[in-house]
Chain A
Amino acid sequence: MLDQADSYVTEDGRTIGGVVMEMKNITLRFGGVVAIKDISFDIREGEIRAIIGPNGAGKSSMLNVISGFYVPQEGEVLFHGKKRPQMRPYEVARQGIARTFQNIALFDGMSVLDNVMTGRLNYMTTNLFQQAFWKGRAEREENENREVVEKIIDFLEIQAIRKTPVSRLPYGLKKRVELARALAAEPKLLLLDEPMAGMNVEEKEDMSRFILDVNDEFGTTIALIEHDMGVVMDLSDRVVVMDYGKKIGDGTPDEVRNNQDVIDAYLGVSHD
C-alpha cells in the first residue's frame, strides 16, 4: 500500500501525488434516514477519483460532504491533513474547490461568457463603485480575468456560443458551460456531479475527453460521480463504489470490476 505522502506515476505518464483529502468514518443522517454510513476513503493529488453506485446509494450526499455543504454527524474530513471546520460555500471556493451540479445551476438569462466570468468572482477585489465607473484598476482586473476565461472558452471549444444566452443552449452544451465556470475558479479540486447524465454517446465522448484534458493540462484533481459504468471505468484512476449508504468497493477500475459485492449491487441481488 502507498503511504499518505507517496506519489507514483501512472501508465499514461501522469504523476499522482499524496493524499489531499481524506474522509474518515463519515456518517450522515437526515432525521432517521442514514444517507452515508461509516465511509472512509481518500483523494490523491492529480488523480481522477470516481464515486459510483446505483440510484439512492448516497453518491450526491457524499459529494456534498466533500464540498462542505453537508456536515456529517460522525467522522471527519481532512483537507491537506487538517480537520476541516464548518465552512460557508465561498470559503470552500477560496480553498480551491469548485463543482458542477447534477441539475444544471447556471444563470439562465446571462450569456455564456458572463456565466463563466462569475467563476472568477473570488479573484476580483474591486467594489461595486469601481466597477460601475470601470476605470483604472477595475478595467485592468476585468481584462485579466477575461483573459483567463477566454483561455477556458478556447479549451472547452465553446467559442461559437460565447455571447449566447444560456437558456438557448441544448443540455449537453449547458453541462460544458458549467464545467467552464467551475474551471474559471482555477480549482485544485474539481467536483463533478454526474457530468454525463442525460447525454448521448457523442456528448459523453466529448465530455470524457474534456475531463481527461483538464486533468492532464492543469493537473486538477477531479472527484466525480457517475452513473455510466463504462465511462467511469475508462476515466478514473480509482473508484469508490457505494450502495445503500455503505462503501462496498474501493480500488482501481479493474479491482472494482471483479469485486463480487459490486457485481451483486449492479446485478441486483436481493438484500436481506
Chain B
Amino acid sequence: MSHTAAQTSSGSGQPLSVPALLERNAAVFADRPAYREKEFGIWQSWTWQETAEEIDALALGFLALGVSEGDFIAIIGRNRPSLYWSMVAAQSVGAIPVPIYQDSGAEEMAYVLDHCGAAYVIAGDQEQVDKVVDIRDQLENLKRVIYVDPRGLRKYDHTLLNSYADVQAQGRAGRSDLSAELAARRAKLTYDSICVMLYTSGTTGRPKGVVLSNRNVIESAKNASEFDNLTEREEVLSYLPMAWVGDFIFSLGQSYWCGFCVNCPESPDTMMTDLREIGPTYFFAPPRVFEGQLTNVMIRMEDASKLKQRMFHYFLAHAKKVGGRILDNKPVATLDRLKYALGNVLLYGPLKDTLGYGRIRVGYTAGEAIGPEIFDFYRSLGINLKQLYGQTEATVFITVQPDGEVRADTVGVPAPDVEIRIDDTGEIHYRSPGTFVEYYKNAESTASTKDAEGWVATGDAGFIEESSGHLRIIDRAKDVGKMADGAMFAPKYVENKLKFYPDILEAVVFGNGRDRCVAFINIDLTAVGNWAERNNIAYGSYQELAGHPRVLETIRGHVEAVNTSVAQDEMLSGCQIHRFVVLHKELDADDGEITRTGKVRRRIVDEKFADIIAALYDGSDEVSTRTEVTYEDGRKGTISATLTLVDAKVQSAITRAVAAE
C-alpha cells in the first residue's frame, strides 16, 4: 500500500520502523510469501502485499475505534498471522504492542494489563477473552477487547467486545476518511519510537516491562541476519510464545528485516507435523524440544527391525566420529567422507526429513544449557545447530556462535556491535545497540540494571575463555559463592552436568562456605521406571524406587562421571560432589521448592531439608526424616523416610591442587 509514507533515514534510505519495513517489503517482495498458517488442513498463505493490505485495514480499524498514539495494546494468544499483524498495526497508529504470555493466569494478566494501562486487548480466542472479562473491574483504562476466533463468543455481551474481522471491515469502509491520518501517524515514527514492550517472566518479584525501540529491534535483527547470512528465502516456524523476546525478533524483527516467511502451526499439538511439512531453514528451539525429539527417535528405533537397528547404530557411530568435523569444514579422511555420504543417503537424510530438519541452514538453541550429547547428535547429522546467549534487555543477542566455532560448553563470541565486560565478581556486563530503553514505570530497576554509560548487568556469572575468545556461562551471579578454601562454588554448573543424564530429573548442589560439596538428586520416574521395568525390578512407589540399591548404584556412577568432568575444569574442580542423597520426593512447585517454571528455590530447599544436609556433612550413613507435602488440592500431609547417604569418588586432591595453581 503506497499511500502510507513511513519515515526512512535520509541518507541510506533504510527504513526506521517496523511499519516502514513492511512498506518496503510490500514493494520489494510483493509476491513472495510473508505468512502461512495451516487451517482446515491446508496451508493458507499471504504475500507481503496482502499482508500490508491486512495490516492497513486493521490499522485503519484501530483509528476508527479511536486508538490514540501512546496507547498500549495488549496481544494475547497463540502464534497466528492475525496477532503478528496486530502488533504492526498497533505500531502503525503510534500505539505500543504488548504481547502477553497466553498461559498466564488471570492474576498475572491483571497485573501486567494494569501496569501498562492497556487500553485495548487483542485476544486470540474465547479462553483469553474470558480471562480479560474476569478481571475487567481491575482495569480502568480498558476500552475494548478485540477477538480473533469468534467461536463460542457469539452470545457474549458485545458492549466491550469487537471481532477482529469487524474492526478490519470498519477500517476498509473508512479508508478514504482515515488513510491520511494513518499516513501521518506512520510518518511520525522514528528510530527512537517505542517498537514493543515485553514483560520479562520474572523468576523473582513482579514481571518488568522492557521497553524496546525501533533502533533496538531493527539493529539487532539486522546484525543477527547478516551474521548468519539470512535472506528473504528463509522459512521459519513460529511456535514459541509471542510474548517472548526471541519470538519477537525471529518471527517479526528478522522476518521484516530480511523479508522471509513466517509459518504458524495449525494448533499447539500439531507443531511436530507442521515442522516436518514446512521444513524450516532457520529454526529456534529450547533444549527440551531437541531432547524430546531425540528420545522419540531412540524409542522408535527400538521397535525397528534388527537390520535397521544395526544400520542406525553403525552410521550414527560414524556420524559421531566425523559428522561434526565435516560440518565445521575441518580436514576429514576421504574414506570417512565417502562413508558419511553413504550414511547421508541411507540414514541422516531420511532422519532429518522425519524430524523436519531436512532444510535447516541455521538452528539455534538457548535459554538453558543443552546436554553435550544431544547437541553433538544433531550436529553430527549435519544440522548446523548453534548456541547463543541473550536476554530481553539486550533484544536477544549478547553472544552467538559463528559457523565453524561451535561447542557445547560455550555460548560463542560477542554478537556484532556488542561489547562485553566481566566485572570483579565474575558478572557479565554488555553494551549494544540492542540495549533496552528502560523498564516501564520502574526507574529504580532501570538504574540498577543499566549504568549511565549504557552497560547492562546480566545477573549471570561467566568468563571469556582465553584460547578461543568464547564466553562461558557459569551460573546466575547471585548463586555463585566461595568454598571454605576460597575456590569458586557454582552449583548450577555441576547440576546441569548431572541433569544431562536422563535418569536425573533435578539436582541441588550445596557447598557455599563449606569445605566440600554434597548434592540432592531427584530421579526421573519415567526414565528410571522404564529401566526398572526392563530389569524386572518391582517397586510400589516413587520413594521405594528412589531408595533401591541398584538405583543408588547407577546414580553414583553418574555422579562420579560428573566429578571426573568437573575436575578437568581448573576454576571449578572444587565443586566435585563428595556425598549425595537421592531424595524420597520430587521437588515440587506446590511445596514451594521450585518455581512454576521449574527453577530450584535454593533458600527454601536449604531450610526445609536442613536435617538431611547436616547428615550429609556429618558422615552418617542414614538419615530419618519427615517432610511436609502439599497435595494438588491444597491439603497437607507428611512423608517419612529413612534415606541412605552415598559416598562418591572424587578426583584426587593432588590433581585439584595442581589444577588450581
Contacts and interface: CB of A to CB of B under 8 A. Distances in A.
Contacts of B152: 213, 216-217
B3 interface: no
Contacts of A12: 155
Interface string B613-646: 0000000000000000000000000000000000
B270 A153 contact: no
B40 A13 contact: no
Contacts of B267: 157, 159-160
A154 B40 contact: yes
Nearest to A147: B40
Contacts of A80: none
Interface in A228-263: none
Interface in B205-254: none
A12 B152 CA distance: 12
B266 A159 contact: yes
A174 interface: no
Determine the main DSSP class of A at the interface with B: helix
Nearest to B40: A150
Contacts of B41: 146, 150, 153, 159, 162
Contact of B270 (A13, A147, A151, A159): A159
Contact of B269 (A154, A159, A213): A159
Interface string A72-113: 000000000000000000000000000000000000000000
A217 B151 contact: yes
B407 to A, nearest CB: 36
B655 interface: no
Nearest to A217: B151
B39 interface: yes
B273 interface: yes
A151 B155 contact: no
Interface in A141-192: 146-147, 150-151, 153-155, 157, 159-160, 162-163
Interface string A200-214: 000000000000010
Chain A CB within 10 Å, residue with most, of B40, B266, B270, B273: B40
B153 to A, nearest CB: 11
Interface string B260-276: 00000011011001000
Interface size class of A (residues with CB under 8 A): 10 to 19
A13 B155 contact: yes
A150 to B, nearest CB: 4
A170 to B, nearest CB: 13
A12 B156 CA distance: 10
Contacts of B273: 160, 163
Nearest to B265: A159
B155 A216 contact: yes
Nearest to A160: B269
Interface size class of B (residues with CB under 8 A): 10 to 19
B82 to A, nearest CB: 16
Contacts of A155: 151
B348 to A, nearest CB: 25
A155 B40 CA distance: 10
A160 B155 contact: no
A154 B39 contact: yes
Interface string B149-166: 001101100000000000
A163 B277 CA distance: 13
B453 to A, nearest CB: 50
A146 B42 CA distance: 11
B302 to A, nearest CB: 17
Interface string B29-56: 0000000000111100000000000000
Contacts of A153: 40-41
Contacts of A154: 39-40
Contacts of A146: 41
A122 B270 CA distance: 30
B293 to A, nearest CB: 16
Interface string B360-389: 000000000000000000000000000000
A213 B155 CA distance: 12
Nearest to A148: B40
Contacts of A163: 273
Contacts of B266: 159-160
A216 B151 CA distance: 10
Contacts of A162: 41
B269 to A, nearest CB: 4
A153 B266 CA distance: 11
Chain B CB within 10 Å, residue with most, of A13, A157, A160, A213: A160
A210 to B, nearest CB: 11
Contact of B151 (A13, A150, A213): A213
Contacts of B269: 157, 159-160
A159 B42 CA distance: 11
B645 to A, nearest CB: 39
Contacts of A147: 40
B385 to A, nearest CB: 25
A228 to B, nearest CB: 20
A216 B152 CA distance: 8
Nearest to B267: A159
Chain A CB within 10 Å, residue with most, of B41, B155, B267, B269: B41
A160 B39 contact: no
A160 B151 contact: no
B235 to A, nearest CB: 20
A216 B154 CA distance: 9
A241 B440 CA distance: 60
A162 B272 CA distance: 13
A159 B272 CA distance: 12
A25 B323 CA distance: 78
Interface in B32-87: 39-42
Contacts of A216: 152, 154-155
Contacts of A151: 40
A155 B269 CA distance: 14
B521 to A, nearest CB: 31
Nearest to A13: B155
28 contacts: A12-B155, A13-B155, A146-B41, A147-B40, A150-B40, A150-B41, A150-B42, A151-B40, A153-B40, A154-B39, A154-B40, A157-B267, A157-B269, A159-B41, A159-B266, A159-B267, A159-B269, A159-B270, A160-B267, A160-B270, A162-B41, A163-B273, A213-B151, A213-B152, A216-B152, A216-B154, A216-B155, A217-B152
Interface of B: 39-42, 151-152, 154-155, 266-267, 269-270, 273
Interface of A: 12-13, 146-147, 150-151, 153-155, 157, 159-160, 162-163, 213, 216-217
Given A147-B40, A160-B267, A160-B273, 8 more contacts: A153-B40, A154-B40, A155-B151, A160-B269, A213-B152, A216-B152, A216-B154, A217-B154
| In the complex, the 5 A-B pairs of residues with the closest C-beta atoms, listed nearest first | A160-B269, A150-B40, A160-B270, A150-B41, A159-B266
